[in-house]
Structure 1
């Protein structure tokens, strides 16, 4: 196993999107839910990644075993009015953290997480947010993420 790391480019986008859909499906079905019929995220994901990679508001690091992508990460950058604990108002939204099951528990996700957190720091973010899967909570807690009991969501 010869693991290396690189930033996502257009060349890897097809594989990255397929892995993102695998990740979302794994997380969604692990809670006993069934993926809704007829939902095809590919076009929407292509649109999102193409726009936000081009304008610099999305970055991803990949873990590679030779030419094979074995792990993914993603960080979207958003801005809101500054507040006391984030005086820049710039936030990193962590997503797309996924490691091929064969490669799990080898430190790959930790390295990917570190790389995208450093991207957020370089962008000027004052905080990074994530909605963690049950599987990811240990990784994020060990890295230093804290639970925010005030987080709520309203679906439209």
Structure 2
């Protein structure tokens, strides 16, 4: 199995939209035929179109040949500077999803490596994420600590190499 990771672009809108909807179905325990909220596919597509163009979101794809094995994303956020984050830059990891056929092979861990490195390169001092019960053990092993409904990982102040 030769796995490659690449940054998604505007040309990947349909693949990104499809993968986000698959992730939502997985997280919500919905069948492939269950109805989704009206307008959700268009809203997801519009989000990716705008966020990728502005650079406020980085989407990664893990591929085995042409087959999508996993996805992950990083929202880059500007927030009120604070004691622990004087620059006011943070990242929010989202849409970590692995096709069931590829789970248990360390792909999500590698996705986290790439996304946290991208956050560091852009000056973020923390990244957060929402988790499911299935994902929580992975994120805890990675170093995230629980808050009320998010987990946060403090990143080194220096830029790290991916």
Into which bin does the TM-score normalised by the smaller protein fall?
Answer: 0.7 to 0.9
SS of corresponding position for 1:102: helix
Q: CA deviation digits over 1:63-112, x for unaligned, max 9?
A: 11001111000000111111112121111111110000000000001101
Which residue of structure 2 aligns with residue 128 of structure 1? 127
Give SS of 1:52's match: helix
User: 2-side partners of 1:38 and 1:86: how far apart?
Assistant: 36
TM-score of the aligned structures, taking structure 2 as reference length: 0.84
- Cross-structure match for 1:146: 145
How far apart are residue 26 of structure 1 and its match? 1.4
CA contact (8 A) 1:87 1:126 kept: no
Q: Report how far residue 47 of structure 1 moved.
A: 1.1
Helix, strand or coil at the partner of 2:134:
coil
In the alignment, is the contact (CA less than 8 A) between 2:59 and 2:72 conserved in 1? yes
| Match in the other structure for 2:154 | none
Q: Give matches, 1:3-152, under 5 Å.
A: 3-29=3-29, 38-149=37-148
Q: Cα RMSD between the aligned structures?
A: 1.7
Matched with 1:154 is: none
Give the TM-score normalised by structure 1: 0.87
How far apart, in 1, do the equivalents of 2:102 and 2:37 lie? 31
Shift of 1:10: 2.1
Residues matched between the structures, number: 147
Structure 1 segments unaligned to the other structure (5+ residues): 152-156
Contact 2:74 2:91 in 1 (8 A): yes
- Displaced runs of 4+ in structure 1, greater than 3 A? 35-38
Given that 1:8 and 1:61 are in contact with CA atoms closer than 8 Å, whether structure 2 keeps it comes out as yes
Once the two structures are overlaid, the 10-residue window that deviates more, 101-110 or 42-51, is 42-51
